[in-house]
Amino acid sequence: MTPGIRRILSAFLAAVVSLAILLPSGAPAARDIAAELRKERGRLLEMKDREEKTVRELTEALRNEKRSKGRVDALRDRLKRQKSLLSRIDRKISVLNERLDRAEKAVRELEAAHGQARSDLQRAEVAAFVGLRAGTGAPWRPSVRERERHFMRVYLVAGAEGIDRITRARERKTEELTGLERQVAVTEKKRTSEKKVGDSLLSRQEEERRRLADIERAKKRKQEELKSLRAKIARMESVVSRVERQVKERELRARRRGAGGSAARAPDGDPRRFASLSGGLSAPLAGKVVTRFGRQRDTTFDVTIENRGVEIEAPSGASVKSVGQGEVAFAGAVSGFGNVLIVQHGGGLFSVYGRLDTFLVKHGEAVKKGTVVGRLPGSPSGKSVLYLELRAGGTAIDPTSVIPLER
Amino acid sequence: MSERPSLWWIDWRLSHGPLVRETIGRFLFFFLLGAALLSLLLSGGVSRFLAERYAVTAVLRAEVPSAEAEGLARKVASLPAVRSAAYRDAEAAWKEFLRAYPDPDPLRGPGGNPMPGYIEIRIRPDRFTGEDIDPVVSALRSVPLVERVLAGEEWLPRLLRAGRIASWACWGIFGAFVAGFFLVARLQERARAVASAVDFAFLAERGVSTGRLAFFRAAAAAVSGFLLAAAGTAAGGGALFLSLRKFPFLERVIGPPSDLLLPRTVAGALLFSCGAALLSAAVSLIGWRAARSGRK
């Protein structure tokens, strides 16, 4: 459940808690109000069920959307990397092809040179033979002829060495060409494989986009639905507030009748009243405040939420202690808050503990400050959240203003 | 007191006509023979011709710089038996090679010029012998700059032997001509002696001794032979000089015209003239004796 939804639910809880507090202490004479309250409670419960369902669906849709967006982003990143990889492979293939062309050209040239050199050498050998037979040069100059024959030998040796050089160079180039061809083949294969991966990623991305669009549509629908519900809940809250006011007025009248002028002290939301409790107040558990009291901006739904309590993050299964001396006024399940325990400290002071896993005290049982009243549920992440709300005279006050809590 | 008549040039006075003809003939003969002699002296038979055709080739290593090669050529040229030593660089060797083979296209491969430079050593014609050539070749083979020495070891002995034979043949022909001259001149002398026998008998009746007459005839023949040989050789030398100047290719066979004036050439010509004088005197005496005895 997202913090936004929790905040919305906290508003409901506040109304429910108010009702839960007020009902046991209500005057027996006000039957019409009680009936109205029961009626409104029924309607409220029904709306809460619907709202809870919608919130679950919306949460699921949001989770799906987040997952889908994550997948789309991941696919986009992978596609980008894939394109970059393909581009690199293409460049490499291009470079390899250029080298291949050059090597092929070099091999062709070397083959031509080799053929030419062989042909030249053969012709030179023929020329040497013919010259030897015909007495090339000056026949009356034997020394010159001897020198010419020696030069022909030098030339033939040089020609043969040249052919050897060309042959070796051709072999080297041929080996290089073969290596390049192998590289090109391997790179082409890799490219085909990566192209397939890219196509697969593209189709998956398209599929994810379609799914995301579906989710977006569902989310929009659920948001509309939630908006409508929130409007209804607001109306309901106004009704509950009205009833609460009536209860307060009735309490005031009864107190005036019973205690005369001493009841002039009107209940109000002064935090100092909690400080005046006997024994003082202590933190219900060691943890960090993750949701603050008061008006908060919900970026998920782009709305402003009025938080009437705080949420304290603590290890799963942690013991929850009473913040002060009092009596258990309510212990039961409240939709959206799980198991809720309300301790009445007297003088219109209440402390509310939501999202409990188990209760360790019963309705009507007296508790002291530090008495373990329940435990937080377990969680795979190892962290759980306690909802803590303090009410003084029907008004929610910031728990951090009277209890030292880590923020 | 009885006056004794001079017997000098007695033949000239007794047989003027035949002697003029003989003199002209002998001059022409000595002209030819003198030219041949000078040619043989200058050429050394066929030595000059062969020396002109023979050369020792010192093939240099490929990395030898031109300056070092030229220095080596100068050192080689200073050897006693060497007439000239010329350095040819690789380019010249390549051109010579291309000239030698009439189809140069296949020889102009992409590998460039593979020919090394070389030094061509020519031997002096008068030192063109195996004993003079061998030290030159040995000296060249010991030089580190030289990769190979081409001295025609396979055919040089045959060439030298052929040269010797050819030279002997030339001198033999020359000698045959001299012998021919001797025979012809003897016949001429005898014929003239027979023709003048009446006159000689007349002189003998008047107290002129036969020996004295023969002596003076021989002496006159020697003088005239010397003069004719010298004049003929000089004329032949002049003709040879002009021929060598006009036909320079003959220098490669005979020699340069300037060599005609060398002391050894002049000495050779003088010796030839002296020989001709002696031969003329001998022919005169032999012809006289033959005429007296009635032999042919």
Domain ranges of chain A: 1-265, 267-407
What distance in Å separates the CA atoms of residue B189 and residue B187, rounded to the nearest whole number? Answer: 5
Question: Between A113, A150, A154, which is nearest B110 by CB?
Answer: A113
Query: Nearest to residue A267, comparing CAs of A258, A255, A259, A279?
Result: A255
The label of the residue with tokens 């022919």 reads B283
The DSSP annotation for A345-381 comes to EETTEEEEEEEESEESS-TT-EE-TT-EEEEPPP-TT
At B295 the pLDDT is: 57
At A266 the pLDDT is: 42
Question: Between B53, B59, B102, which is nearest A150 by CB?
Answer: B59
Q: What are phi and psi of B86, to 5 degrees?
A: -120, 130
Question: Between A137, A143, A162, which is nearest B57 by CB?
Answer: A143
At B88 the pLDDT is: 93
Q: Best interface-test mutation with B: which of A143, A149, A164, A166 has the largest number of B CBs within 10 A?
A: A143
At A14 the pLDDT is: 65
Contact (CB<8Å) B114/A147: no
Query: Nearest to residue A281, comparing CAs of A407, A404, A392, A388?
Result: A404
CB B79 within 8 A of CB B33: no
What distance in Å separates the CA atoms of residue B104 and residue B75, rounded to the nearest whole number? Answer: 35
Question: Between B55, B107, B148, which is nearest A155 by CB?
Answer: B107
* Mean pLDDT of the region B145-168: 89
Which CATH number applies to A267-407: 3.50.50.100, 2.70.70.10, 2.40.50.140, 2.60.40.10? Answer: 2.70.70.10
Which chain B residues have a beta carbon less than 8 Å from that of A119?
Answer: 106
User: Given CB atoms, is B91 within the 8 Å cutoff of chain A?
Assistant: no
What distance in Å separates the CA atoms of residue A306 and residue B4, rounded to the nearest whole number? Answer: 190
What distance in Å separates the CA atoms of residue A302 and residue B174, rounded to the nearest whole number? Answer: 141
**Quick check: B3 pLDDT over 70?**
no
The label of the residue with tokens 């040879």 reads B240
User: Given CB atoms, is A135 within the 8 Å cutoff of chain B?
Assistant: no
**Quick check: B271 pLDDT over 80?**
yes
| Domains located in chain B, CATH noted | 10-46+160-293 (no CATH), 55-127 (3.30.70.3040)
Contact (CB<8Å) A155/B115: yes
* Mean pLDDT of the region A324-328: 89
At A71 the pLDDT is: 86
What distance in Å separates the CA atoms of residue A313 and residue A288, rounded to the nearest whole number? Answer: 5
CB A384 within 8 A of CB A317: yes
Beta carbons within 10 angstroms of residue A220's beta carbon:
11
CB B157 within 8 A of CB B133: no
Query: Nearest to residue A320, comparing CAs of A277, A260, A376?
Result: A376
The DSSP annotation for B40-80 comes to HHHHTTTHHHHHHH--EEEEEPTT--HHHHHHHHHHHHTST
CA atoms within 13 A on the CB side of A346: 11
User: Given CB atoms, is B119 within the 8 Å cutoff of chain A?
Assistant: no
**Quick check: A191 pLDDT over 70?**
yes
How many residues can be counted in chain A? 407
Residue A264 banded pLDDT, cuts 50, 70, 90: very low
Residue B1 banded pLDDT, cuts 50, 70, 90: very low
CB B19 within 8 A of CB B223: no
pTM to 2 decimals? 0.54
At A47 the pLDDT is: 78
* Average pLDDT, rounded, for chain B: 87
Q: Highest mean pLDDT range out of A290-304, A329-343, A380-394?
A: A380-394
User: Given CB atoms, is A131 within the 8 Å cutoff of chain B?
Assistant: yes
What distance in Å separates the CA atoms of residue A80 and residue A198, rounded to the nearest whole number? Answer: 9
At B102 the pLDDT is: 63
A91 is written with which tokens?
């460049």
At A261 the pLDDT is: 45
At A121 the pLDDT is: 82
Residue B114 banded pLDDT, cuts 50, 70, 90: confident
Span B235-251, pLDDT tens digits: 999 999 999 999 988 88
* Mean pLDDT of the region A235-257: 69
**Quick check: A265 pLDDT over 50?**
no
At B39 the pLDDT is: 92
Q: Are strands A358-359 and A366-367 parallel, antiparallel or unpaired?
A: unpaired
Span B281-293, pLDDT tens digits: 998 898 888 877 7
The DSSP annotation for A33-61 comes to HHHHHHHHHHHHHHHHHHHHHHHHHHHHH
User: Given CB atoms, is A136 within the 8 Å cutoff of chain B?
Assistant: yes
Q: Which of A58-62, A250-254, B66-70, B152-156 has the lowest mean pLDDT?
A: A250-254
Which chain B residues have a beta carbon less than 8 Å from that of A151?
Answer: 93, 96-97, 100, 115
* Average pLDDT, rounded, for chain A: 80
Span A87-105, pLDDT tens digits: 999 999 899 899 889 989 9
- The Cα of A107 is separated from the nearest Cα of chain B by a number of Å equal to 16
**Quick check: A262 pLDDT over 60?**
no
CB A322 within 8 A of CB A371: yes
What distance in Å separates the CA atoms of residue A241 and residue A381, rounded to the nearest whole number? Answer: 38
* Mean pLDDT of the region B99-106: 66
Residue A26 banded pLDDT, cuts 50, 70, 90: very low
**Quick check: A6 pLDDT over 70?**
no
Q: Thinking of the domain A1-265, which architecture would CATH place it in?
A: Orthogonal Bundle (1.10)
Residue A27 banded pLDDT, cuts 50, 70, 90: very low
ipTM of predicted complex: 0.72
At B117 the pLDDT is: 92
- The Cα of B94 is separated from the nearest Cα of chain A by a number of Å equal to 8
**Quick check: B2 pLDDT over 50?**
no
What distance in Å separates the CA atoms of residue A195 and residue A202, rounded to the nearest whole number? Answer: 10
Q: CA-based Rg of chain A, rounded to a whole angstrom? A: 46
